[in-house]
């Protein structure tokens, strides 16, 4: 009989029991459930609600169960509705009435809420570690390629030359923002609902601040209705995961492009590539593509939870049983994808010569040529038109700005001098962007130093 079966005369239909069970998902928070129960039992004994001997028996029994679960030796009963009942039933079978006293002053509602918050904190902490490692790799790749020049793009068209390290650091800062979102999700989870009971609190003299202390929460939730029904922190976690996956998908898209024959900017390691069953020459960026594809499932996890929580009346509703699988999936997916990305970046070969040769194509020097005229007195709008005309003429002739002679340039404007050739060199163009946050060598070196500081925080 279920632990709540006293009010029922008939047994539960086998299919409905299976439909309502959540044990397979709940197993992922078994250790959090045990931590919560040990804290609850400790507090009950300190408050005189249960005896010290009962508390010792409960703690010893739960510690043994914890070790068995960790070792994969715990026997799960498929008839148990969830992890809470599985652990409590086993505990009571082993230590007798002391185990039956564990649930005093507690409901499954606040028990579940406590477990999920502890789990969310653990997931956030793990993701923050993975995020830190990915950012470290991005910073290392940037530092190893400080002088590599590549074409910068807008609309996927050549725009202006930039340093490859500058491009990598752009992703570093994206993932730094993701780290802040994960930390915010951790902070949102870091509140104790234990002691709220089913929805209204309890008549037992519980010390909720004591379980807050024992479980390492930063604060105690002040409203019992909110304590058992709030899942906003899971939305925060899934949102943080979704945004980070979006950033990963952008980087993956570029890796797929850069590793193609058309670009040839990078060569992926064999460890992060696959072949074809029919085309022996193929080397496919499958893991970048798969990461890009997994972004959709994390978006789905977020939308599913938003929909589940929509219009739910206070306090607890069974709908909330559906709130656990999504965050677990989103966190596991993001963690795996960050690890794949870190390995892919760390082992890829950067083809600097190919990048440099492409950096000067597509009239990427046009802006600097216009700036040259503006610095010599011509209004920028007029300079823009002059260079636009030169680009048009080059397109008709099938050449680049760098192919024009000084005499041909001076036909467009007498302001052009011998030093204009420096404005046509991709490396010089990149180096000239010296403003804070720019792509110039000194500016990127300063940016990299700033990035290293954030990794130490």
- Which structural domain range is residue 62 located in? 13-104
Residue 152 lies in a domain: no
Q: What is the pLDDT of residue 164?
A: 98
Q: What is the pLDDT of residue 276?
A: 80
Which band of pLDDT confidence, cut at 50, 70 and 90, is reported for residue 411? very high
270 and 413 part of one domain: no
Residue identified by tokens 């951790």 is 186
Residue 3 lies in a domain: no
90 and 127 part of one domain: no
310 and 364 part of one domain: no
Residue 1 lies in a domain: no
- For residue range 234-289, list pLDDT tens digits in order: 999 999 999 999 999 999 999 999 999 999 999 999 999 988 888 888 889 999 99
169 and 315 part of one domain: yes
Which of 339, 357, 375 delimits the end of a domain? Answer: 357
Mean pLDDT of 217-230: 98
43 and 188 part of one domain: no
Residue 438 lies in a domain: yes
Q: What is the pLDDT of residue 402?
A: 87
386 compared with 15, residue with greater pLDDT: 386
Residue 382 lies in a domain: yes
Q: What is the pLDDT of residue 172?
A: 98
Residue 378 gets the label, from left (phi > 0), alpha (psi -120 to 50) or beta, of: beta
- Beta-strand ranges (E) seen in 3-131 are none
191 and 296 part of one domain: yes
374 and 450 part of one domain: yes
Residue 180 lies in a domain: yes
Torsion of CA 413, 418, 420, 424, to 10 degrees: 130
Least confident range from 80-89, 160-169, 339-348: namely 80-89
* Domain containing residue 286: CATH number: 1.20.200.10
Q: What is the pLDDT of residue 424?
A: 86
382 compared with 277, residue with greater pLDDT: 382
Mean pLDDT of 314-334: 95
The enclosing H or E element of 371 equals helix 366-375
Residue 218 lies in a domain: no
- For residue range 413-448, list pLDDT tens digits in order: 999 998 898 778 999 999 999 999 999 999 999 999
Least confident range from 56-65, 78-87, 181-190, 195-204: namely 78-87
298 and 348 part of one domain: yes
Q: What is the pLDDT of residue 5?
A: 57
Rounded to whole angstroms, the Cα distance separating 315 from 311 reads 12
Mean pLDDT of 48-76: 97
346 and 283 part of one domain: yes
Q: What is the pLDDT of residue 196?
A: 98
Phi, psi of 190 (to 5 degrees): -85, 55
Of 155, 261, 271, 277, catalytic: 155
Helix (H, G, I), strand (E, B) or coil at 62: helix
Residue 217 lies in a domain: no
Q: What is the pLDDT of residue 7?
A: 59
Active site residue 384: no
287 and 298 part of one domain: yes
Active site residue 28: no
Which of 330, 357, 384 delimits the end of a domain? Answer: 357
Please name every residue paired with 154 in a beta bridge, in sequence order, or none if there are none. 157
Q: What integer best gives the mean pLDDT of the chain?
A: 94
Q: What is the pTM of this model?
A: 0.91
State the total domains in the chain.
Answer: 3
Distance of CA 333 to the CA centre of its chain: 9
Name the DSSP letter for residue 403: G
- For residue range 152-196, list pLDDT tens digits in order: 999 999 999 999 999 999 999 999 999 999 999 999 999 999 999
352 and 363 part of one domain: no
Residue 137 has pLDDT above 60, yes or no: yes
The enclosing H or E element of 397 equals helix 380-397
323 and 181 part of one domain: yes
* Domain containing residue 51: CATH number: 1.10.275.10
Mean pLDDT of 206-224: 98
* Domain containing residue 452: CATH number: 1.10.40.30
341 compared with 276, residue with greater pLDDT: 341
DSSP secondary structure, 218-287, as one string: SEE-S-HHHHHH--HHHHHHHHHHHHHHHHHHHHHHHHHHHTSTTT--EE--GGG-B--SS-TT--B-HH
Of 165, 276, 311, 357, catalytic: 276
Name the DSSP letter for residue 321: G
């Amino acid at each position: 009989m279920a632990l709540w079966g006293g009010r029922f005369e008939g047994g539960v239909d086998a299919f409905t029991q299976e439909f309502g069970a959540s044990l397979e998902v709940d197993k992922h928070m078994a250790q959090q459930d045990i931590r919560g129960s040990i804290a609850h039992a400790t507090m009950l004994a300190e408050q005189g609600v249960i005896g010290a001997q009962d508390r010792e028996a409960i703690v010893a029994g739960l510690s043994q169960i914890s070790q068995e679960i960790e070792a994969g030796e715990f026997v799960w009963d498929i008839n148990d509705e969830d992890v809470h009942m599985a652990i409590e039933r086993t505990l009571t079978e082993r230590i007798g009435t002391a185990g039956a006293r564990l649930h005093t002053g507690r409901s499954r509602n606040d028990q579940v809420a406590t477990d999920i918050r502890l789990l969310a904190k653990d997931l956030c902490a793990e993701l923050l570690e993975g995020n830190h490692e990915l950012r470290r790799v991005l910073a290392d790749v940037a530092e190893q390629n400080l002088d590599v020049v590549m074409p910068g793009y807008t609309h996927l068209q050549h725009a202006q030359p930039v340093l490859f390290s500058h491009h990598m650091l752009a992703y570093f800062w994206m993932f730094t923002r993701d780290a802040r979102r994960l930390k915010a999700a951790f902070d949102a989870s870091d509140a104790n609902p234990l002691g709220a009971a089913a929805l209204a609190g309890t008549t037992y003299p519980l010390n909720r601040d004591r379980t807050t202390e024992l479980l390492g929460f930063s604060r105690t939730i002040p409203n019992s209705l909110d304590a058992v029904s709030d899942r906003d922190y899971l939305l925060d976690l899934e949102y943080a995961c979704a945004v980070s996956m979006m950033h990963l998908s952008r980087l993956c898209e570029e890796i797929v492009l850069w590793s193609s024959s058309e670009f040839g900017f990078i060569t992926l390691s064999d460890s992060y590539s696959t072949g074809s069953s029919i085309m022996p020459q193929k080397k496919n960026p499958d893991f970048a593509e798969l990461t890009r594809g997994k972004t959709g499932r994390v978006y789905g996890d977020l939308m599913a939870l938003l929909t589940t929580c929509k219009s739910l009346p206070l306090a607890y509703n069974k709908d909330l049983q559906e709130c656990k699988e999504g965050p677990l999936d989103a966190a596991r997916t993001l963690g795996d994808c960050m690890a794949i990305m870190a390995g892919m970046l760390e082992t890829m070969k950067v083809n600097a010569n190919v990048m440099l040769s492409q950096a000067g194509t597509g009239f990427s020097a046009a802006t600097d040529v216009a700036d040259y005229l503006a610095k010599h007195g011509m209004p920028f709008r007029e300079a823009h038109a002059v260079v636009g005309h030169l680009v048009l003429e080059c397109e008709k002739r099938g050449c680049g700005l760098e192919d024009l002679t000084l005499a041909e340039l001076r036909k467009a404007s007498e302001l052009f001098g011998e030093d204009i050739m420096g404005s046509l060199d991709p490396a010089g163009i990149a180096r000239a962007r010296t403003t804070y946050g720019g792509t110039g060598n000194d500016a990127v070196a300063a940016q990299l130093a700033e990035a290293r500081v954030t990794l130490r925080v």
